Every structure is written in structure tokens, then in C-alpha cells.
Structure 1
Amino acid sequence: MAKFQYTYQKIVDLKSSEKTQAEWLLSSAVSKLNAEEMTLENLLKERSDWLEKLQEASEKVVSLSSIRVVQLYLEFIESSIAQKRSDVRLAKQEVESSRSHLTDRMMDEKVWLKAKDHARDRFRFVALAKEQNELDEMATVRFVAPAR
């Protein structure tokens, strides 16, 4: 029986490669999102720690300049938190975009794999029909040969 070779195998391979690349992009985007969220958590914790220090300083006798330094640093942390929240939002959008891209690539690959399966099924059907015709012809020749 002849071996099946799909005419469009290179396209199937390309679609599979595109899906793999999309998976890598999604993985990268998720890693970036996790890093951004972790940095945001650290900034929020740092803000909390400095607010606690400011509260403690207000209960003690501390110079006004040291309180002002803490307030300025807290303002800096607040602006960093705002920027980091923006970065997290952008990272989430990138994850969603990558997820959507991966879904599209998976659909493309699935379509081409299904087409390949249909082509293989047609090939098998034709090959089996051809083989059956050959067997029928051999049986007919054997049956007719002794009758002569």
C-alpha cells in the first residue's frame, strides 16, 4: 500500500510553528504581568511600611524636616504605584492580546489538521477500493481460468 503524503504538509508545519510561537509570546506576556504585579505588591508594602513610620514619627518628638522627608518619599512611592498600576494594566492587555492571538493560531492549526485528516481518509478509501478491485479481479481470473 502506498504511503500517504499530504500535499500541504508545509502549511500544516507552518501553522504548528505559528501556534508554538504564540504560546511562547503568551508565556512571556504572563511572566511580564507576574513581574509587574509583584513589583506593585512590593511598592504597596513599602508604602504601608513608610506610612507606619510616619505614624510613629507623629507620636514621637521628631524634627519637622525628617517628617517632610518621609512625606516626600511617600509622594514618590505614590507616583511609582500609579505608574506601576498603569504598567500592570498594559501587561494585562498584552496578555489578553497574546491569548487572542494564540486562540487564532490554534484555530488555524486545527483547520489544517482537520483538512489533512480528511485527505488521509480519502487516500485510505481510494487505496482500499483499489486493493479490493485488484482482489476481485484476481478472484475472477482464478474462477474463469479453470472453466476454459
Structure 2
Amino acid sequence: MKKKKVLFIGLFSLLVFTSCSINDSPNPDPRIRVPHWHLIKTTGGIAGVDHEFPLETVIWTFDDANSKLMVVNKNTDDTKQDAFDAGTYPFSIKKVDDKTFLIINEDEFGEFEIDDKKRLIINQNNLSEGTGADGFVYTFHRTIEIITP
């Protein structure tokens, strides 16, 4: 009986020690979250336009690691101001005081901010060198694509 008890304790100890881990933290989430910005509204300009777009019509995706902006543009209405044709554009960010400006194709595109509703707003009337009155204001809605590796 004593041999069975020792054998049981030895097997139990082996099982406990081999199943323990030094790292007790949960596994990090391996999923990748990619934000896409859908143009939903363009206002302003000399003519005072007010254009709305359904989701999936014009989508901007920023690749921060490579400083590239990918634009998907399915807008077929040439009367609506949608900023860029489909393609990939170099971008950078310029900070002046407490304002942030978007540079696309080495040209300052406008001041941008993400508001409390998590919308991206780019205002071409606000530039790092001053303000204007005939630029456009682009409003984007964010969606998140989740990629599982």
C-alpha cells in the first residue's frame, strides 16, 4: 500500500510541475485590427457643396508602417467631390502647436482630427500656414476589419 501511495504522490507531483507555467498572463490577442475610413460627407468649396456618400463608396486605409494611404474609390458621380481617385499615395503628418495636418503626395491636404464620435474630419480651410474659405471639409466614418492570422 505504501508503494502505491508513493507512486501516486510521485505521479501527481510530476503532473502538477509539468503543467505549470511561469507566464500566468493570458495569451495576447493575435487578431489584427485594421481601421478603414469611409467618406460619408463632403461640404464646402467655392460652390458650397454638400455631398453625402454611402459606406463602401470611398474608403481610405492608412498604412502607418509604410506611410502609404490606400484609397478605394467606387464613386461614379463626377459631380461629387471625393478627393482622390483609387490608388496608393504617400502621406505624412505635420504637427504645429496643438494642431495636426495631413500631407498627401507632399502637399498639405488640411488639418485633421478625430472627434468624440470617432469620425475623422479633414478641414482644408485650416492649413499650417493659415486659414482659407474655399476648401472642402471631409468627414469619414471608421469601421474596423479584424484579420485572424
TM class, shorter-length: under 0.3
Please state which structure has a larger fraction of its residues in strand: 2
Q: TM-score, normalised by structure 1?
A: 0.25
Structure 2 length-normalised TM: 0.25
Relative contact order, higher structure (CA 8 A, sep 6+): 1
